[in-house]
Structure 1
């Protein structure tokens, strides 16, 4: 038993000494006075961490409480530990409030800034007395086509919500993407304190004019505290009542692209950068040797698919081979950040100088309303000759370096002496001929063996097909007559040739996926037990002329379409 505890102690000791990273972040960077905000501190590499000294926050914040969550992961034998400390704060006044660096597990966090606006009042007096209501805001309220807006959907409630469904808004003529997860906090609206669940979206108008977000409804369940004197279940669990709230429609004015913009790509962004990496610090490259460059276009407020593909202009004295571009889109909970990257292999053809021309990208700054130009300046490099004085030609070097074909191996015999060159190919030719001959013999033997093995199994297939064909013809002949009993027997016999497990016409009907065929079988069964002959089955031949329409099993039929509901979790 002692050894087991010692082993566990040795396992945990490294984790307690690996606090190699501390990161602090606010769940929101901008709030209204009266709202709460959560400071999340993540400590990597440890399972034990105490709440830091928060006395430095007392001047600007009320500290409402703190919680700690520890996580241990083991992936491929590698252990990673993490502790997350959440601190609930309520600002005491408006302005830009500073959260100073905090020391946790011997490591400092980075300082943070929280912008606090004055208290927010309801836009309409009707919300003043509601227990549950929805508020939607768009920032900014008007924008250009293609510009991202921040759409905030907030559910306010001052009752105990046991779960509910908050659908995503819809916007015709705009691209709508959810940003991050739901955020929970408290807020004061018109002197009344509410719990708030906030959901954020990136809204990108696709056409000029007016974009309208129609009203949508929240449906949930409120739980009233139970009466301790109630002997029933209501006293223990409380009583639940359905609650609902409708949002107000939101209209956004979308302006078209400015008429003087020109033919360049319209890029309305908050920030945009253009960068080129890989240039040598000393400004020198070697003729015939590749220069690998990496160009990046990154914009805040635009997804990656809206950005142009990075490219280099024609370079005099060099050949340019671009790689496939890569695209990524991330968000910080408010704004999308698109990034497009591409590599280039540049092969100088001769010694001398090589100029990489300037690259420019025109974009529109939505914050200042001004046209901007991102530029990578031109760069002139010195191309030195190869060490042996005879650099490889760009075509052969490119073929070897970029495509990695077997041409690289073909240059090896060229460095051997003349005797090796004359004897080598003859020997390898004989080896290749013998290898190909053995390979062909192996394939022939395998095909002969496979054909001999398949003969017995395949010999019964034509007989089964002939039997099914014969039974089908027999049923068609009976279907044109008036004997319902003969029709039923011949139909079941034909079906058993394809589905041997069928016992009666009822099972056959259950296996079919055609309403017409199932109805025909039902009429046939009624006619079979009728007291007199009937002509109601004369359409049997037409219904089954193309064979049976069998039902296909759907393995996902048992999956529930309803998501689970949890307290304060909205779907």
Structure 2
């Protein structure tokens, strides 16, 4: 009798389950129908029916909402003798815009859920009262700017709770060049409550006049501590933070501006330096002139090229200009370095013309002019030249016939020396490659104790301007960073690593060590190349994941 009783109960429950399965339906509910643009809502979708598998087409939701999270569960339960089974989806939604939106009707196994209206209002007032646990703030450093002028945009994330898995899309503005220049974390008290602050600073350069709109930025984060022993981390909450959009007026170039190039900057300076004392300038010996333009609030790409030297009696050999941008909390400072080798063909007094640049002072709101004054110097005769007059050629010029013969002899000797040195350099380059790029009298530098030490030695060698010392320090650093390169020369390392900074350093070293007449190293250019090389080597390891931010109070 007991077995019969159990059998009847089982049949009864099966009948109840089948009856419940017959009443299949798809229902959708939300936790609230009115939210702000910076808030989220929870959508619960439940299907009870006899068919299994599949899921609704959630892409319909993405027309008006971002799906921040989605979870699925299968349940079977008996309540007061009634059995029911169902599949349930829980979605966290964030509205994409303000106004009246709809959670659309969703379909599954022939069943359709009802559409749900959602009213989305604008973001609430600034939460200075401390009632919000996390919020975003956007600050512009100016009320209006000129076209191509730098605008600093600071985005701050405030929180009093633990946030992790923070992600955001980078700032994008059509018609503007944007660079992230600074990143800081600190603490600020608002209404007596301590907030952790994560601040990003962007430099924005508008390319045309008119209204420039800084779009609303969206941060997605998880609040609460992650539980390593929980599969679903039910104690956490996914948040979406949204900033307010900003708008700023961009003015065209002033009509009163008369400069050849439009340069809106906070400051602009021109500095001149020489590879050696110009007072020692001799006929036929090269000397290098280095001019650096540095502007605060301008990118290096915005700085114009300088006019070429066109002085009779001087031959010039300009090098490729070096451009560099330094980023910091105050924005970008761009620099352009132009290097020119100068060879005098005859002795005498020379004057290099002044260099003048007009620019717009964004702080004072007016046009300014920065000028590098004209530079006068004296070139003495070639060492050991016979028959050189004590009074100098600038006082009593030599007879025409003698001058022509002397000039012809000089250029003939220079051509012979150039051909001979070129052949010698080709032979030495072949021998250098054949013997792994190590000179016979070269003693390898002892192995450094640490990467930091080799970096410092390389930086010191770059500052010294000594080509031999720089070559040894560069090889030592390369051997330590890439053990597979040991025994190879800098030229082979450059071919293998394909680093443009290393290739340029190799060219400068070859010109200073193996070419006649040797070209002295440009210290400023070498220092910039070395710093870029070290930075390029370090960035792949330190670069964080795109769109990923550090944990706050995590």
Q: Provide the TM-score with structure 2 as the length reference.
A: 0.47
Q: Whose RCO is larger (CA < 8 A, sep 6+)? A: 2
Q: Provide the TM-score with structure 1 as the length reference.
A: 0.46
